[in-house]
A and B are shown apart, each in its own frame.
Chain A
Amino acid sequence: MSAADPLIRTEAVSKVYNPHRPDVVRAVQEVSLEIPRGDVAVLQGPSGSGKTSLLSLVGCMSRPTSGRVYVAGDDVTRLSEQALTEVRRRRFGFIFQQFHLIPDLSVLDNVVLPLYAVPMSFAAMKRRAEPILERLGLAAAQGRMVRQLSGGEQQRVAVARALINEPDAVIADEPTAHLDRELSLELLTMLAELNRAGTTVIIATHDPLVVEHPMVGTTVAMRDGRVVGGEPA
Chain B
Amino acid sequence: MKRLKILEYALSALWRRRGKTLAILVVYTLTIAVLASILLMTHSLRVEAGLLLERAPDVVVQRIMAGRHDLIPTEYATRLREIPGVGDVHARYWGYYYDAISGSNFTVVGTADPPAQLELLDGELPLAPGACAIGAGVASARSVGVGDDLILIDSGNIGVVFEVTGVFRAESSLLTNDLVVLRDPDVVQFFGFPENTATDLSVEVFNPAEVDTVAAKIKVLFPDTRPITRSELVRTYDAVFHWRSGMVLTLFASALIAFCILAWDKATGLSAQERREIGILKAIGWGTADVIELKFWEGAALSVTAFLTGLILAWVHVFLLGASILAPVLEGWSVLFPDFRITPYLDLYQVFVMAFLTVVPYIASTVIPSWKAATMDPEEVIRA
Contacts and interface: CB of A to CB of B under 8 A. Distances in A.
Q: Do A and B come from one complex?
A: yes
B8 to A, nearest CB: 8
A54 B375 CA distance: 20
A62 B380 CA distance: 8
Interface in B284-299: 284-290
A82 B288 CA distance: 7
Interface string B354-384: 0000000000000000000001011110100
A85 B1 contact: no
Given A85-B282, A85-B287, A89-B285, A102 B1 contact: no
A117 B286 contact: yes
A63 B285 CA distance: 16
Interface string A103-147: 011000100011011111110000000000000000000000000
A100 B1 CA distance: 26
Given A82-B289, A100-B276, A104-B16, A113 B284 contact: yes
Contacts of B289: 82
A94 B282 CA distance: 11
Interface in B6-20: 6, 9, 12, 16
Contacts of A105: 12, 16
Nearest to B4: A122
Nearest to B376: A62
A81 interface: yes
A91 to B, nearest CB: 10
Contact of B377 (A61, A94, A96, A102): A61
A101 B277 CA distance: 9
Given A62-B377, A82-B288, A119 B382 contact: no
A32 interface: no
A158 B377 CA distance: 21
A10 interface: no
B173 to A, nearest CB: 52
Contacts of A53: 379
B281 interface: yes
Contacts of A94: 283-284
A85 B285 contact: yes
A85 B290 CA distance: 11
B68 interface: no
Contact of B287 (A63, A82, A100, A113): A82
Interface in B203-258: none
Given A119-B1, A122-B5, A114 B276 contact: no
B280 interface: yes
A200 B280 CA distance: 21
B10 to A, nearest CB: 10
Contact of B288 (A81, A101, A161): A81
A100 B280 contact: yes
For A61, A89, A113, A161, the residue with the greatest tally of chain B CB atoms inside 10 Å of its CB is: A61
B2 A116 contact: yes
A220 B360 CA distance: 52
A88 interface: yes
A165 interface: yes
Nearest to A109: B12
Contacts of B9: 116
Contacts of B378: 61-62
A94 B379 CA distance: 12
Given A102-B280, A116-B9, A56 B379 contact: yes
Given A100-B276, A116-B6, A116-B9, A61 B283 contact: yes
A121 B380 CA distance: 31
Contacts of A114: 284-286
B378 to A, nearest CB: 5
Interface of B: 1-2, 5-6, 9, 12, 16, 276-277, 279-290, 375, 377-380, 382
4 closest A-B pairs (Cβ-Cβ)? A89-B285, A62-B377, A85-B287, A56-B379
Interface of A: 53, 56, 61-63, 81-82, 85-86, 88-89, 93-94, 96, 100-102, 104-105, 109, 113-114, 116-122, 161, 165
30 contacts: A56-B377, A61-B283, A61-B378, A61-B379, A62-B378, A62-B379, A82-B287, A82-B288, A82-B289, A85-B282, A85-B286, A88-B285, A89-B284, A94-B283, A94-B284, A96-B382, A100-B276, A100-B283, A101-B280, A102-B16, A105-B12, A105-B16, A109-B12, A113-B281, A113-B284, A114-B286, A116-B6, A117-B6, A117-B281, A117-B286
Given A89-B285, A117-B286, 6 more contacts: A61-B377, A96-B382, A100-B279, A102-B280, A117-B281, A118-B2
